[in-house]
A and B are shown apart, each in its own frame.
Chain A
Amino acid sequence: MYVAVKGGEAAISNAHRLLADRRRGDRSLPALSIDQIVAQLALGVDRIMAEASLYDRTLAALAMRQARGDMIEAIFILRAYRTTLPRFGYSKAVDTGAMLVERRISATYKDLPGGQLLGPTFDYTHRLLDPSLLGDNEVETGLQREPGTEPVMRVSDILAGESLIEMEESSEQNDAPGDITREPLEFPLGRDERLQALARGDEGFLLALAYSTQRGYARTHPFAGEIRIGQVEVEIDIPELGFAVSLGRVQVTECQMVNQFKGSAKQPPQFTRGYGLVFGQSERKAMAMSLVDRALRASEFGEDIVAPAQDEEFVISHSDNVQATGFVEHLKLPHYVDFQAELDLVRRMRREYDSAQEIVEEMKEAAE
């Protein structure tokens, strides 16, 4: 019989007080400020914004501090916070073609309009620990050079000029794309809902799936057509005024993956595309997203679905780390009653097994 029990209030309260103490740590050290986290742990802050699906650097830094640097905990806190706010509306589509570019590279064209702009990248560093960062040494500012005047053209537009790549046209029917924060997931999904889910998906999970496609589990022959990082305007219609205004800029990372496609009865041989768009500076995530997006388009191109990365239900149902951690971590909550029931069951089965064994033994003895 189950008897309702209470308890643990004092323990929980003391545990949270201890958490606050440990979070602050050694009081002889200065406390981290939110501004310091935003400025100096910027890519961690960006990851929290991307996976919480909420662009707000101050709140993401607060979440990081509150979570003691535990990224998934911070994402969870920020995701929970967003549910407390009213939705004002939907922005116009951000125009990544008009981006204020901070980095733009292409692995498919060496010389392209706008050039290869490395920006603040870890690429080509030697990944050696830098002892100078143990201290607080003076750091030089970035060099400046007169920027070119040619626009930073999209690589996909270069290929589109020869019509060697599938076109991404805006269709007017799609003025209300699916919103997974409003409607429950129902498979099969549209690519709009998939992209929304992938944009907030766990970087590690998407990275592993993307890697699996490269290792042969749904090979897509990808080239990084273009990666660009920079700021885009967020515009929203203001009904009172009768026109749209920009609310300011957000930083995003975009990856256009170009994939081989041999063509079908309906389509000529051409390159196909995978797309990644992520809040903040988040190149690995944008690349992984674009590889997984392309893999998930398998049925669109009549490709056989043979690998996990092509399985929409598998990928999207498990890409959200807030859901995943909730279900995995709930196992540590009290399951005393469930376990008591299982224990009784195993004991009964064991008794039946033992008595069956005894009968066998007795029959053996009788036979001898």
Chain B
Amino acid sequence: MQTAAKTEPAKPLSAADAARKRRIEQLARATAEDMTQALNAMGGAPEAVNLRGPETGLVMIRGRMGGTGSLFNLGEATVTRATVRLAEGAVGHGQRLGGDKSATRLAAILDALGETPAHRAAVEAFCAEIASRIDAEDAKLAAETAATRVDFFTMVRGDD
């Protein structure tokens, strides 16, 4: 409730931007093996020029005092990013936590392919697979956590 109101008001994204945001985020969670497989199924990884990276650097992660208050810098995380351009001109971005450069580049290629009409559907299908894998992992974690929920009960007093 309050927490939702305290986050920055998100500017409404266009449908295309919202889809791309989702795609980039899902590709950030895909493994290099899965992406290689998906690209092979699409007829192999296309030629792609590196416009930037792949390069590893730092992002300073921020928190809020008391969870909802003013900002502070919590600490850094390693992040790898890559931007590629396909021969036909589509540009793709990849970025993820950690230092995996080849996975990040593959994600950028898949993002670029997602911008091309010929491959959009295949990339979206792959992203849907990643999303359902993440959902399944989250559901498992939530169910395991729920099993550790305390059920309080009132003791019956033995003075009848």
Contacts and interface: CB of A to CB of B under 8 A. Distances in A.
Contacts of B98: 56, 58, 248
A54 to B, nearest CB: 5
Contacts of A266: none
A292 interface: no
B136 interface: no
Interface in A229-267: 234, 236, 238, 240-250, 252, 254, 256
A96 interface: yes
Interface in B1-22: 1-4, 6-8, 11, 13, 17, 20-21
A204 B102 CA distance: 39
A96 B67 contact: yes
23 contacts: A54-B78, A56-B98, A82-B58, A85-B58, A87-B58, A90-B60, A91-B62, A93-B71, A96-B63, A96-B67, A119-B145, A119-B148, A145-B149, A169-B69, A174-B70, A191-B70, A195-B63, A196-B73, A196-B74, A241-B21, A241-B24, A246-B25, A247-B77
A144 interface: yes
Interface in A59-118: 59, 82, 85-98, 100-103, 110-111, 115-118
Given A92-B62, A95-B3, A97-B68, A245 B97 contact: no
Contacts of A193: 72
Contacts of B95: 236, 238, 245, 247
A118 B59 contact: no
Given A54-B78, A146-B146, A156-B66, A248 B97 contact: yes
Nearest to B60: A90
Contacts of B138: 100
Given A93-B71, A156-B67, A196-B74, A234 B58 contact: no
A20 interface: no
B42 interface: no
B118 interface: no
A53 interface: yes
Interface in B134-160: 138, 140-150, 152
Interface stretch (A131-139, A147-155, A303-311, A328-336): A147-155
Nearest to B144: A142
Interface in A255-285: 256, 273, 275, 277, 279
Contacts of A354: none
A171 interface: yes
Interface residues of B, number: 62
Contacts of B75: 49-50, 53-55, 196, 199-200, 279
Contacts of A89: 59-60
Of the listed residues A121, A200, A247, the one surrounded by the most CB atoms of chain B closer than 10 A to its CB is A247
Nearest to A111: B152
Contacts of A241: 17, 20-21, 24, 93
B76 interface: yes
A64 to B, nearest CB: 16
A102 B142 CA distance: 7
Given A90-B73, A248-B28, A256 B65 contact: no
Interface in B47-64: 55-64
B144 A54 contact: no
Contact of B65 (A143, A180, A191, A246): A191
Interface in B21-54: 21, 24-25, 28-29
B12 to A, nearest CB: 10
Given A100-B142, A116-B150, A93 B79 contact: no
Contacts of A87: 57-60, 76
B67 A91 contact: no
By CB atoms of chain A within 10 A, which of B55, B58, B72 has the most? B72
A87 B65 CA distance: 23
Nearest to A193: B72
A179 B68 CA distance: 19
Interface in A12-64: 49-50, 53-56, 58-59
A55 B73 contact: no
B58 A88 contact: yes
A304 to B, nearest CB: 23
Given A55-B75, A88-B79, A156-B66, 19 more contacts: A54-B78, A55-B76, A85-B57, A87-B59, A94-B74, A102-B141, A117-B148, A118-B150, A146-B143, A147-B142, A147-B143, A170-B64, A177-B62, A177-B72, A180-B73, A196-B75, A247-B28, A248-B28, A248-B98
